[in-house]
Amino acid sequence: MKNLLKSKSLPKPTENPWETLESKPIYENPWIHVQEHQVINPSGGRGIYGTVFFKNKALGIVPVDEQGYTWLVGQYRYALEEYCWEIPMGGGKILENNVSIEEQLLQAAQRELLEETGLIAEKWTKIARIHTSNSVTNEEGFVFLAEGLTQTDSSPEETEKLEVIKVHLSDAVKMVLKDEITDAISMVGILKAAKILNMV
């Protein structure tokens, strides 16, 4: 075990120690595709690995107004069979066009915030990159802090039945600490936003 007390730099990452012998497509829909791989693991043992690839990036937005209030969205999550309070969130597809990935993520985040809360923000800051569940999926999420807010009318998607509430960011932090908010991207987004805005 290395002690990083002195060097303060991380050991150099190793190359991919897994060998993939064969990959078989299992299932695909507009959002995910599932594969099963025959592998040799880092210790030389033979086995299988099932992976879930996400076609979209997960985008979370922490809108914060001048008084320090933020917006939370409540919805029943089908896969979880549980009602969840989250930051405004959605999926962003990265297209192969002339628009940079950064710009596509930002535009998707702006669209999601507007759709779910009716908010338009002047100032956008990307505050986190997150791998949600890296033992099985390749899902990658990003969180934006959105400031300079203007309220318009909202228009949630057909599949979404959303409840929207406005709470102080410091109260959202308390909800995270009490596990009243359990969505990983929301937890990270709220804790990071509060730290960045010196509200902790």
- Axis crossing angle, helix 169-177 with helix 184-196, rounded to the nearest 10: 130
Candidate list 74, 100, 107, 152; residue touching a copy of itself; CB under 8 A: 74
Question: Which residues from 13-72 bind a copy of itself, rule CB under 8 A?
Answer: 13-18, 26-27, 29, 31-32, 34, 36-37, 39, 41-43, 45, 47-52, 54, 58, 71
**Does 128 help bind a copy of itself (rule: CB under 8 A)?**
yes
Distance CA 73, CA 108 (A): 17
**Does 99 help bind a copy of itself (rule: CB under 8 A)?**
no
Q: Which of 158, 160, 163, 180 is catalytic?
A: 158
Please report which helix (H) or strand (E) contains residue 37, including its range: strand 32-40
Distance CA 58, CA 91 (A): 5
Q: Indicate if 158 belongs to the active site.
A: yes
Comparing CB distances to a copy of itself, the nearer of 88 and 97 is: 88
Which residues is 82 bridged to in the sheet?
77
**Residue 168, both tokens:** 């102080």
Question: Which residues from 133-172 bind a copy of itself, rule CB under 8 A?
Answer: 133-139, 141, 154, 158-161, 163-168, 171
Comparing CB distances to a copy of itself, the nearer of 47 and 148 is: 47
Task: With beta carbons less than 8 A apart as the criterion, state whether 73 and 164 touch.
Answer: yes
Strand 140-151 vs strand 56-63: parallel, antiparallel, or unpaired? parallel
Taking the complex as a whole, how short is the minimal distance between the CB of residue 46 and a copy of itself, in angstroms? 11
